[in-house]
Structure 1
Amino acid sequence: MKISARNQISGTVVGITSGAVNGSIKVNIGGDIIVTASITEEAIQELGLAEGDTVTVIVKASDVMIGK
């Protein structure tokens, strides 16, 4: 897979929570750091995502915010 986004992190799917329209995918990227992505249920099915799968987390955003 080739993609222009430079922020790509490999990890393992450790949790999938289904919703009516969107689902939540938890990916362990190492050191017990979990990244959570919200994607459509359709995308979860099309990708055939399951716990234990090796995936790539791709971050493409114009803004990154931090609050305290």
Structure 2
Amino acid sequence: TPQRLICVPNIQHDCYGWECTATAHEHIRKEREDTSRTRIAVKHKDQMHFVINLYALHNQHHIRTAVPQHL
């Protein structure tokens, strides 16, 4: 629930580390509808590992208590 929300972390996928490539294609949307036009998109090789920059966050102590130390 929104009342229990403590902070909103900025979580990034590690494209560099997983060597993700710009080889996927996605439809361009216009007014919430898919068009026939496409554009190149990043194809992520891993969907389970992410990077959290704790040094840039003013609420890092909340995240450190929620995430196990070994991560």
Identify, as 1 or 2, the structure richer in strand: 1
Asked if these proteins are the same fold (TM beyond 0.5), I'd say no
TM-score (norm 2): 0.25
Structure number with the higher helix fraction is: 2
TM-score scaled by length of structure 1 = 0.25
Indicate the structure (1 or 2) with the bigger Cα radius of gyration.
2
